[in-house]
Amino acid sequence: MPSKYRQPLCPLTFYHIFNRGINGEKIFYSSEDYTRFLSDYETKLSDYVDTFSYCLIPNHFHLLIRTGEDCKTISNQFKLFFSNHSMKINDSQNRYGSLLTKPFKRSPVTNEGYLQRMFFYIHNNPMHHCICDDPLSYEWSSYETLMSNKDTFLNRDEALSYFGGKSAFKNFHNELSTLTLREKGIMEF
């Protein structure tokens, strides 16, 4: 694994946190697994990080966070959280051993343009993996929650402020999605 993904977390920094199942295996088997992951994440990590975006795919996940002051505690909380998720999946699936690759990967998000593209990358992930055609239709992504007024552990107001509001957030995703499809030759104009 490239060492750039193993750098220590720095305080008050945006990070793309991601990981996948060992050998590409599933890390979520049912809707209860996804729901429990998000609920446990909120309970175990919301006091340590601000969360702006997420996407859970059957064999991997992406999170967009900003660290707090105490990064050693944050790193340990993530390790405990991932270990807890692995134990619950192992128990429910009658499996044993590691579920996720170690250590969890993290990449600093160094400027606002990169931050905006990271939102798109995370929300576009289900389309990239041909799971759905529209980010609003994917239940295990933060896109719909950010577009709604539902209660959430996400830092919605700040997330949308990086785009100039909800409408601009949606337009950014739509425009980048169209550009991505054009580049892949999927959409004709």
**pLDDT of 83-124, one tens digit each?**
999 999 999 999 999 999 988 999 999 999 999 999 999 999
Residue 189 lies in a domain: no
Q: How confident is the model at residue 187 (pLDDT cuts 50, 70, 90)?
A: very low
Residue 187 CB neighbours (<10 A): 12
Q: With 70 as the cut, is the pLDDT of residue 178 above it? A: no
Grade residue 181 by pLDDT with cuts at 50, 70 and 90.
very low
Could you tell me the pLDDT band of residue 138, with boundaries at 50, 70 and 90?
confident
Q: Which residues form the domain of 28?
A: 3-184
Cα angle 69, 72, 74; round to 5: 70
As a whole number, mean pLDDT of residues 116-144 equals 88
- Cis peptide leading into 8, omega within 30 of 0? no
Asked if the structure places residue 109 within a domain, the reply is yes
Q: Is 179 among the domain residues? A: yes
Its pTM surpasses 0.85: yes
Residue 73, in any domain of the structure: yes
Q: How far apart are CA 139 and CA 60, in angstroms?
A: 15
Residue 189 has pLDDT above 50, yes or no: no
**Residue 68 counted as domain residue:** yes
Asked if residues 145 and 152 have their Cβ atoms less than 8 Å apart, the reply is yes
Please give the Cα distance from 26 to 80 (Å, whole number).
Answer: 19
Mean pLDDT within 128-147 = 87
Would you state the structure tokens that stand for residue 45, as one six-digit string? 């990590």
Average pLDDT for 58-63: 97
Mean pLDDT of 6-35: 95
Residue 32: give its domain's CATH number: 3.30.70.1290
User: How many domains does the chain divide into?
Assistant: 1
Radius of gyration (Cα) for the chain, nearest Å?
16
Please report, rounded to a whole number, the percentage of residues in the chain having pLDDT higher than 90. Answer: 76
Please indicate, yes or no, if residue 85 is contained in any of the structural domains: yes
Q: Buried (b) or exposed (e) across 79-95, using 16+ Cβ within 10 A?
A: eebbeebbebbeeeeee
Alpha-carbon distances of 88 from 85, 95, 98, 102, 114, rounded to whole Å: 5, 10, 12, 17, 34
As a whole number, the mean pLDDT across the chain is 90
| pLDDT-derived band at 188, boundaries 50, 70, 90 | very low
Q: What is the pLDDT of residue 2?
A: 52
Is the pLDDT assigned to residue 1 strictly greater than 90?
no
Q: What are the helix (H) ranges across the chain?
A: 31-45, 71-92, 112-128, 143-147, 156-161, 166-184
Q: What is the pLDDT of residues 114-127, one digit of tens each?
A: 999 999 999 999 88
